[in-house]
């Protein structure tokens, strides 16, 4: 088990990163950095607390049972650990259990010392030049998550980073392990869910191989960790959006895309210096402070007070109480329907399918073309202060509304700029937005900074993936009756 939280035994107590200086590392830090540099930055540089998961607690308990058994021979193994008892060596004083790297540690990279512990070192074949190094793993599904022998000896993988590091430490400890030529790197897995089972994954490799892997792959990684350790903004720590849901989910997702404590991807969207007029036009800026609405009378249907926040003035001059409990539902039209007046129908619209009704109680004559007002509509006015967010998806709004496409285009451009690409939809594999990760980044950016309250129309949803993601992200933010979707 690697213990990166431990400190060197001698000298003053130090942190792994202090004042931008990388004091020491552990193989678990290498694994965390390779998974997501920004997560490592949160833990080691900003020192944000990382909650312990149930899986981690179960692993700590299992490691303690195995350590006691291998040291003393007393069987205190639980059901999970006992499933792999036949794969363990016989307990004995010659086994090195929870062996410390020592102080000073012989293992280092780019001048940075490494600390930690190794679960088990078996020197019983050392006379043959063979040393076995074992790490105990507790996994919910051994068949799915177990590493392969090839991964154990490749420092480009999480499993290889750990086992190659352990192998180099053993090779450098030649005074303790003289004559070692071959390293047996082993992951011993114990399944925690379902049927109790255990499995051993073993790879034999030369001392020269692990030394070469360490020099060619780990040393450059440590140099990149030095740069991230000196970062003063979270935006300077590269994220890996593809790892957000790994191992139960990252606990820092909220800080990664929003939050005042850290500079994040979302913070890069908003310019620091803005004029009042410019700030009012940005979709991600905070809405202005609401003022007391002006009273406009009471609703004839429900008796509620009418204000500029809950009303809409129609072309006819009538003041409409929006979301009135006693009002009829507006007719919803498909996006390719001809231009129509945004007035609410006063009679029930006839059904589009089924048998035609024989007669209507009060038929309404359709107005003649010459009696209608010109089709040109006035430009949409800014939403009143304090108004709710309303979405009209693939239908003609019954009130003045802005196009949602403009807001989505701005956010998409800002996410693209933050990710260092021209268009987030075409981000390459090397980009943090590649392999579809841009979808999660765009959705989280929209949810964290939705458009200012008001009415918005999203037309042609089937032809725009950006609009589809935006509508899915904003729908939960709309109140009852404030989300209208067209139906054919």
- Residues 350-365, mean pLDDT to the nearest whole number: 51
Residue 340: Cβ within 10 Å count: 12
Res. 171: pLDDT tops 80: yes
Tell me the sheet residues that pair with 189: 137, 199
- Residues 388-410, mean pLDDT to the nearest whole number: 88
Mean per-residue pLDDT over the chain, rounded: 78
Degrees to nearest 5, angle at CA 179 with 178 and 185: 95
CB 122 within 8 Å of CB 176: no
pTM of the model: 0.55
DSSP H/E element including 190: strand 182-191
Res. 395: pLDDT tops 70: yes
Q: Tokens 């007719």, residue?
A: 331
| The pLDDT value given to residue 314 | 57
Query: Each residue of 121-145: pLDDT tens digit?
Result: 999 999 999 999 999 999 999 999 9
Lowest mean pLDDT among 177-186, 355-364, 396-405: 355-364
- The span from the CA of 350 to the CA of 114, in Å, is 77
Query: Each residue of 307-329: pLDDT tens digit?
Result: 766 666 655 566 666 656 655 44
Please state whether 122 falls in left (phi above 0), alpha (psi between -120 and 50) or beta.
Answer: beta
Res. 295: pLDDT tops 80: no
CB 309 within 8 Å of CB 291: no
Query: Each residue of 6-25: pLDDT tens digit?
Result: 444 444 567 899 988 999 99
């Amino acid at each position: 088990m690697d213990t990166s939280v431990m400190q060197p035994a001698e000298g003053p107590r130090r942190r792994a990163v202090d004042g931008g200086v990388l004091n020491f590392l552990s193989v678990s830090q290498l694994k965390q950095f390779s998974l997501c540099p920004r997560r490592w930055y949160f833990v080691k540089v900003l020192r944000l607390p990382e909650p312990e998961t149930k899986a981690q607690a179960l692993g700590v308990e299992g490691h303690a049972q195995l350590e006691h058994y291998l040291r003393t021979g007393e069987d205190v193994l639980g059901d999970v650990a006992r499933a792999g008892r036949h794969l363990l060596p016989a307990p004995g004083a010659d086994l090195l259990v929870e062996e410390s790297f020592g102080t000073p540690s012989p293992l280092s990279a780019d001048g940075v010392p490494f600390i930690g512990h190794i679960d088990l070192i078996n020197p019983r074949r050392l006379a043959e030049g063979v040393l076995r190094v074992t790490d105990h793993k507790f996994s919910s599904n051994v068949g799915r998550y177990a590493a392969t022998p090839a991964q154990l000896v490749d420092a480009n993988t999480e499993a290889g980073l750990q086992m190659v590091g352990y192998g180099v430490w053993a090779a450098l400890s030649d005074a303790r392990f003289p004559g070692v030529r071959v390293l047996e790197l082993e992951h011993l897995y114990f399944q925690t869910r379902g049927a109790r089972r255990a499995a051993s994954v073993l790879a034999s490799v030369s001392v020269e191989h692990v030394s070469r892997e360490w020099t060619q792959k780990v040393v450059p990684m440590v140099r990149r960790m030095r740069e991230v350790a000196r970062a003063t903004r979270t935006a300077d720590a590269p994220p890996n959006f593809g790892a957000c849901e790994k191992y139960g989910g990252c606990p820092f997702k909220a800080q990664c895309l929003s939050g005042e404590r850290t500079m994040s991807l979302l913070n890069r969207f908003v310019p620091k210096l803005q004029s009042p007029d410019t700030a009012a036009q940005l979709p991600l800026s905070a809405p202005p402070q609401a003022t007391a609405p002006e009273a406009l009378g009471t609703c004839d249907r429900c008796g509620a007070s009418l204000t500029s926040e809950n009303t809409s003035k129609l072309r006819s001059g009538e003041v409409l109480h929006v979301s009135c409990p006693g009002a009829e539902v507006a007719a919803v039209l498909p996006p390719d329907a001809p231009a129509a007046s945004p007035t609410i129908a006063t009679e029930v619209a006839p059904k589009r399918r089924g048998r035609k009704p024989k007669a209507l109680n009060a038929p309404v004559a359709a107005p003649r073309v010459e009696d209608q007002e010109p089709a040109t509509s006035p430009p949409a006015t800014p939403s009143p202060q304090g108004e709710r967010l309303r979405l009209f998806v693939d239908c003609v709004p019954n009130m003045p509304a802005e196009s949602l496409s403009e807001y989505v285009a701005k956010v998409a451009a800002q996410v693209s700029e933050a990710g260092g690409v021209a268009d987030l939809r075409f981000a390459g594999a090397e980009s943090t937005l590649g392999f579809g990760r841009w979808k999660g980044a765009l959705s989280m950016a929209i949810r964290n900074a939705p458009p200012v309250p008001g009415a918005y129309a999203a037309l042609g949803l089937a032809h725009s993936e950006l609009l589809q993601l935006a509508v899915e992200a904003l729908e939960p933010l709309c109140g009852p009756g404030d989300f209208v979707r067209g139906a054919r």
